[in-house]
Amino acid sequence: MNDRLPHEKGFHVSWDQIHRDSRALAWRLDGHGPDDGNWRAIVAITRGGLVPAMIVSRELDIRVVDTISVKSYSHQSRGEAKVTKSPQADLMGDGEGILVIDDLVDTGKTLELVHKLYPKAHFATVYAKPSGRPMVNTYVTEVSQDTWIFFPWDMALQYVQPYRGAD
Ligand SMILES: O=P(O)(O)OC[C@H]1O[C@H](OP(=O)(O)OP(=O)(O)O)[C@H](O)[C@@H]1O
Ligand SMILES: O=c1[nH]c(=O)c2nc[nH]c2[nH]1
Ligand SMILES: [Mg+2]
């Protein structure tokens, strides 16, 4: 374990798994929108929410997709959450009928900020840690607070030396 990191465990998510888990999220959301079960639009929280949002939009046939950009982490340390790009104001209103999607909720600060802006939106993430779980309306898998989730877009396959490597 690396002492500099506050996270004891790692949860490694493959492309295949994020695809399956995002489809599971779509399945949970299907038919639960306020307009005859439908949602007006999806708003992805960039960047992590982009891949799950695309998969949910495909599964639920939601063609209106916008983004909100919230930046709060640098590597594994958290800073102040800031909105650096907003979705179209006339689309959003108070968030009614809008599905806000992110890859995960950790402390909940990112969703808290977006919730303040769009209190009637529905908040959905693929993964949730306990501290942030109250901020999410729908999620698929819970992981413990001391787990760092590694996503496939942050990873690359690379050669590792065998334990008994040649010197
Ligand atoms: O619940 P919180 O403690 O606020 O953390 C969750 C947020 O942190 C990560 O995004 P990040 O700010 O690292 O930006 P990124 O999506 O561009 O990687 C993640 O994608 C969530 O959006
Ligand atoms: O890739 C990530 N994994 C995490 O567990 C996490 N928590 C906040 N932000 C995160 N980003
Ligand atoms: Mg993010």
Q: Return the CATH number at 150.
A: 3.40.50.2020
Instruction: Give domain status of residue 37, yes or no.
Output: yes
Supply the DSSP symbol for 88. Answer: P
Instruction: Give domain status of residue 149, yes or no.
Output: yes
Instruction: Give domain status of residue 104, yes or no.
Output: yes
Q: Choose which residue among 70, 77, 136 to substitute to test ligand 1 binding: the one with the highest number of ligand atoms within 8 A of its C-beta.
A: 70
Q: Is the CB of 44 under 6 A from ligand 1?
A: no
Instruction: Give domain status of residue 105, yes or no.
Output: yes
Answer whether 66's CB lies under 8 Å from 87's CB.
yes
Neighbours of 144 (CB within 10 A): 11
Instruction: Give domain status of residue 166, yes or no.
Output: no
75: left (phi over 0), alpha (psi -120 to 50) or beta: left
Out of 9-23, 69-83, 87-101, 140-154, least confident range: 69-83
Domain holding 118, by residue range, is: 21-72+81-154
pLDDT mean over 39-51: 97
Predicted confidence at residue 85, as pLDDT, reads: 97
Instruction: Give domain status of residue 12, yes or no.
Output: no
In the numeric block, which tokens belong to residue 143? 């992981």
**Count of domains observed in the chain:** 1
Atom of ligand 2 nearest to the CA of 7: 5
